[in-house]
Amino acid sequence: MPASDFTPQEYAQRLTKTRAAMASQGIETLIVADPSNMAWLTGYDGWSFYVPQVVIVPSEGTPLWWGRTQDKAGAAQTTWIGTENLFDWPEEHVQHPNHHPYDALVTLLQDRGWTGALGVEMDNYYYSAAAHRILETAFGRTAIADATSLVNWQRAVKSETELEMMRKAGRLTAHMHAVLREGFREGRRKNELVAEVQAAGIAGLPGLAGDYPAIAPIAPSGLEASASHITWNDRPLTRGEATYFEVSGCFHRYHCPASRTLFLGEVPADIRRAEEAVLTAISDTLAAARPGVTCEEIATCVYDSFSRAGYVKANRTGYPIGLSYPPDWGERTMSLRPGDTTRLETGMTFHLMPGLWTPDWGVAITESFVVTPTGGQALAEIPLNMVAAP
């Protein structure tokens, strides 16, 4: 996701929003380790999140990128912040048993005088206990505040440019599901079908190239589909089994995930009943997803539809999506579930997940949508109904 995807004005607005949130929490210097947040603030893009790297946002001035020496050239190519704001840690510290890159980060912060009122993303995949221990030892426990999801919340309402990218990702997702429907047949090994689908998502469409998604394809069949996050295996597709595929196209790191369920043979009555409940839940939710409505209110559309059909859903029904890196394409802020009173705003984007899992099978038909004044608008055009292959 090169910084040139967005205007300087949009990056300035993102920085302004982030600093306002920092000020409200008493944070003077924000240390951002989440690669999605790093990219959103600066444009940085690279498969380098397996080693320590951060964007440092001071209360004023240009943010700094800090990472491995070998990745500094990538930061120069993808960020808007200028080479004078790129800093690195010693290459010999890569996964070294006696040295940690955050020792160099401490020195950088001390040299800048940024030693108090620090914010860090404590509950984040990319911020380790060792990293926190080093910062706490250097600056003291009271100098460090938890800034988990501070930047994530600023990303909730998408700009028109971001929505355009998500719709392009949606076109890729639709293409992937078309390949799935075409290639779904009895006896075919599932890994072969998944390979074809992944290739389609990356090869893309004329004038629209794909990127790697933040989550691998989810593709369970039969009893496997009673679990929600099984990927694939080499077992042949079998008659009498439902298979659901959760995939996402990815365009410049923006996602548009969607699940669809396929069945080989005549669909049993209980699975058809589940499908009807899921489709009703999607229709009701999109109609209700208007600005001012709370997350728990639109989640009720799903729970009520399932209840009328005689099913109980015990998990959340959706989450916000957009720009992301592995291992997750969710934004990790609000959830569509009881108790979440966050109010929807125009431009928020969600992956609606009215999946139903029983002890014997699962049905997942999902939709990514954007909140508009007239309700939720799907970001991809993919047939919703279960496909029953002969």
Alpha carbon distance 169, 215 (integer Å): 14
- CA 285 vs CA 96, 228, 306: distances in Å: 50, 21, 13
For residue 158, the model assigns a pLDDT of 98
The closest of 258, 262, 246 to 186, measured between CA atoms, is 262
Question: What's the chain's average pLDDT?
Answer: 96
For residue 3, the model assigns a pLDDT of 67
Alpha carbon distance 21, 136 (integer Å): 23
* Residue 386 burial (10 A CB sphere; 0-12, 13-18, 19+): buried
- pLDDT above 90 (res 91): no
Q: pLDDT per residue over 197-226, tens digit each?
A: 999 999 999 999 999 999 999 999 999 999
- H or E segment and range at residue 282: helix 269-288
Q: pLDDT per residue over 342-387, tens digit each?
A: 999 999 999 999 999 999 999 999 999 999 999 999 999 999 999 8
Q: pLDDT per residue over 278-327, tens digit each?
A: 999 999 999 999 999 999 999 999 999 999 999 988 899 999 999 999 99
- pLDDT above 90 (res 1): no
pLDDT, mean of residues 181-203:
97
pLDDT, mean of residues 181-196:
96
For residue 42, the model assigns a pLDDT of 98
Q: What percent of the chain has pLDDT over 90?
A: 92
- Bond before 383 cis per omega within 30 degrees: no
The domains located in the chain, with CATH, are 3-154 (3.40.350.10), 160-389 (3.90.230.10)
Where helices occur in 147-264 by DSSP H, the ranges are 150-154, 160-183, 190-203
- pLDDT above 90 (res 167): yes
- pLDDT above 90 (res 389): no
pLDDT, mean of residues 83-93:
93
The closest of 58, 38, 83 to 253, measured between CA atoms, is 38
Question: Which has more confidence, 227 or 50?
Answer: 50
Measured in whole angstroms, how far is the alpha carbon of residue 20 from the centre of its chain?
24
Amino acid type, 306: F
For residue 319, the model assigns a pLDDT of 98
- pLDDT above 90 (res 236): yes
pLDDT, mean of residues 335-342:
98
For residue 288, the model assigns a pLDDT of 98
pLDDT, mean of residues 253-270:
96
Alpha carbon distance 135, 106 (integer Å): 7
For residue 94, the model assigns a pLDDT of 87
Rounded to 10°, the helix 35-42/8-24 angle is 120
For residue 390, the model assigns a pLDDT of 75
Alpha carbon distance 370, 254 (integer Å): 13
